[in-house]
Structure 1
Amino acid sequence: MKNNTLLAVFLFLTATTVFAQEDFNKWSIDFGAGVNKATEPYSLGFDQNQMSDLALEVGARYMFNDRFGLRADFGYADIQPSSGSFDFESEFMRFGVQGVANLGSIMNFRDWTNRFNLLGHAGVSYGRNKTQFVSETDQFIGITGGLTPQFKITDRFALNLNITAMAFDSADLTWDGASDGTRRGFDHKMFTTTLGLSVYLGDNEQHADFVDNSKVKQLEKEVEEIEGRLAKLESDLQDDDRDGVPNYIDTEPNTPTGIRVDSKGRAIDVNKNGIPDDMESALNKTFLTQETAEESGMMGDNANQLAKTLLNEGYVNVYFKFDSTQPEIYSFDAVNYMVTYMRNNPDATAKLTGYADQVGNTEYNNTLSERRAKKVYDILVNAGIDEGRLEYQGGGVDESVDANAKEARNIVRRVTFELN
C-alpha cells in the first residue's frame, strides 16, 4: 500500500513539474570606457578618421528571464579632429532604452562553457551634440544596436566588451557643428567600443546572464526536486515514536511507548495538569507516598535529607526542548519527585528557577527562562501543592556550556529546585 502511494505521488509530481524555478538574480549595473568613431557627416575640411576618442557609458539592466531583458543606458563621447582636419571639438551625450537578448542562453552556451557569454541589444536613443561653433545644442533621435561578449569573473562580476553602432536622424548640424546637416535620414553614424564591468545585484548565487537552464540541467534539477519530495514524503509517513500517528501530523513525535495519544499525536491529559494520564498513574506507583514510606521505614531523616539534597544540588531537574515551555516527557519523573517530596514535607517551601541556552536574543531568552519556571510552577499547583509554598523566577541564559555544542545545550534548558 505504501509503495503504491509513493508511486502515485511520484507520477503526480512528474506531471506537475513543468517550469523551472527562477532562482537567479535579474538586476545588474553595467559600466564601460573606451573609444568612439563618429562617421559622416562632416563639413568640408573637418573630419575624425580615427577610432580613438573617449567614450563612456553606464547602464541599468533587468532580465525578465534567462533569455530576454531591458536596458536603460547613458553614453558620452568626446569627438576630436583627426590630423589634417580643421580644429573643432564636440561633446555628444545619449540616453537610450534597449531590448537585450541573452544569446549565450538562446544558443546553449552553457553546454560547453560557464565563463563566456554573449548579449545582443537593440533599441532607440535620444542624442545631444554640443559644438564650439553654435550656442545651441543639436538634438536628434536614432536607433542603436550591438553585441556584448562577457567573461564571468565571479558570480557577482563579469567583464564585458560592448560593441555598439548608432544611426541618428533629425540632426540640424554636422558632427563638427560648422554647417547644416545633409538631412538624408539617419545620416549621423557613430561606433563605440568599450571595455567594462557588469555588477550583479540580488540575493541569489547566479545572475540570469550565466544561469544554466539547459535542458540537461533542468532535467537534473527536476529529478533532484522529485527525489527530495519523495524522501520527505517517506520520512513524513514514518512513525518514529510508534504511537500510530505519522510524523508529518505528530505534534509530539517523542511520546513514550504505551502512552495514549489523540489524532495529532498529543499525549492525552484529561485533567490538564501537564502530566499524561497514562504516565500519571504509573508515576504514582513508582514514587513512595508518605504512608507507604512510613510503613516500610524508608522515610526517616536520612531518606528525607537525601531527597532534599538531590533536588537542591541539581540532580533532579525539568528539561525542555529548544524554544519551548513544554517539559520533555521524561522530565515528568522529576516533577513527580518534587510533588512527592512536597506532599511528604508539608512545611517545606521551594523556589523554582528557569534557564535558557545561549542561542537567540538575550532579552527573549530571559523571558523564556521565566516562562519555563512558571510552567513547572503551574503543574505543581495543579498537582495539589499550595501556591503559597512555591515561588518562581527566571535565571536567564546559562552560559556554562559551549554555545556551539547542540547536545550540551540540552542540559541547560531546564528548571531547577531550591528547597527551604
Structure 2
Amino acid sequence: MNLKGKKILLGVSGSIAAYKSALLLRLLVKAEAEVRVVMTQSATEFITPLTLSTLSKNPVLISFTKNETGEWNNHVELGLWADLVIIAPATAKTLSKCATGLCDDLLTAIYLSARCPVFFAPAMDVDMFKHPSTQDNIQKLIGYGNHFISPEHGELASGLIGDGRLAEPENIVKILDDHFGKRPVAAAKRVLITAGPTVEPIDPVRFISNRSSGKMGYAIAEAFAAAGAQITLISGPTHLKTSNPNIRIITIETASQMFHAAQDNFGANDLIIFAAAVADYTPRHVAEQKIKKQGDSMTLDLAKTTDIAGTLGATKKPGQLIIGFALETENELSHAQDKLARKNFDYIVLNSLNDPGAGFAHDTNKITVIDKDKNVRQFDLKSKDEVAQDILNIVIAKWSEA
C-alpha cells in the first residue's frame, strides 16, 4: 500500500461517529502508516484517549499543554511533521472553526499550521449537513485547497435517514492510499469519461436500451481519479457509485442527453474516454401514453442518434487524447481499426463477445488496445479494475513522453 511509512495525523472531534476512529486508526496502522492522534475535548466523551493511544502506540494529544508537566504540545511542529492530516469525524463545529480560522484548541491550531494535504470526513445529522452554513463552510475549505470525503447515506443516530454518516473506515483508507499513489503527470490533467447505457423511451413505460452495466467506465474513472486527475463522468442509468472526491458525475438517460453533456465538457478536458454503450437508434416519436397491445405485431419508426464519438472526435484540439471502445462479435480487429480511423481516436480498446468473461455485465474484461499508428497490445483476462490500470498506464506513458 502507498500508506506505508507515511506520517498521518488523525484528528477526532466530538461526534457519536468517533467510535469509528478506532477502526480507522487500526486500518492505518495495519497499512504501516505512522499515526498520531489529536482529539478535541468533546471527542473524549465518545471514545477514550486510552483506546486510541493503545492502537496508535503513541500518546493521544488533547490540549496545548501536558497537564502534569506543563510541557507544550507544539502545534507548529505537529503540523509540519505530518504527511497528511485527516479529521474524522469532522463535526459541523470543527468545520466552522477551520473555515473561519478560529483555533481555540490544539486540533484547529494544527490545521492552521499544516503544510500537508488536509482531508475532512464530516459526520453529523442530515439537516445539519445540508444546512447552508455547513455547506458554505465546506465550500470555503475546498476553496482553501482542502479535500473532502463525502459522508454516506443511511440511518443516523437521530433515527433519520439521509446523508451524514461518517464514511466507512475502509473507504477512507482507500482514498488516503490513492492520494499517495497519485502520478504527478496526471495531477494536472482533466479527463472526460462516458459510461453505462442510454435509455431511449418508447412510451412512459417501455424503452430501448442495452446490457451495459457501466462497470468498465466507472473503474476507469476511479483509476484516473486515484492517479490525481480531475474527472467528469457522464453516466447513463446504473446502480454504481463512486467514492473518489475527484469524480464529478453528470447523470443522463438518453443518447441525446449524453451528446449534449459530452459536447459541453469536451473542450475543457485533456483526455476523453468514450466507454458508454450509446444507442445507435431512438424512437422517432415517443408516445405520451402507454401503448396498448393491438394485433400480432408492432412497428417502431427509429431515427439514428448523433454519433457522439465521431462528431466530437472531428473537433479534437492539439494536445487532446481520445480513447474509444469497440465491442465486436466478428472481424474484431479490422472493425476496431476502421472505427479508430473514422472517429479520429488516438487509441481504441477492443473487446470481443467471443471471449469468455469479457464485455457487458462481467466483473472481468479481456482487451486489445490499438493506437493510431496501428500498434496492437493484447492483454489477458483481468478484473475491470486491473484493466482500468492498464489503460491508465498507457495514457501515463503517453503523457510522460509529451
TM over 0.5: no
Larger radius of gyration: 1
Which structure: greater strand fraction? 1
Which structure: greater helix fraction? 2
Normalization by structure 1: what TM-score? Answer: 0.21
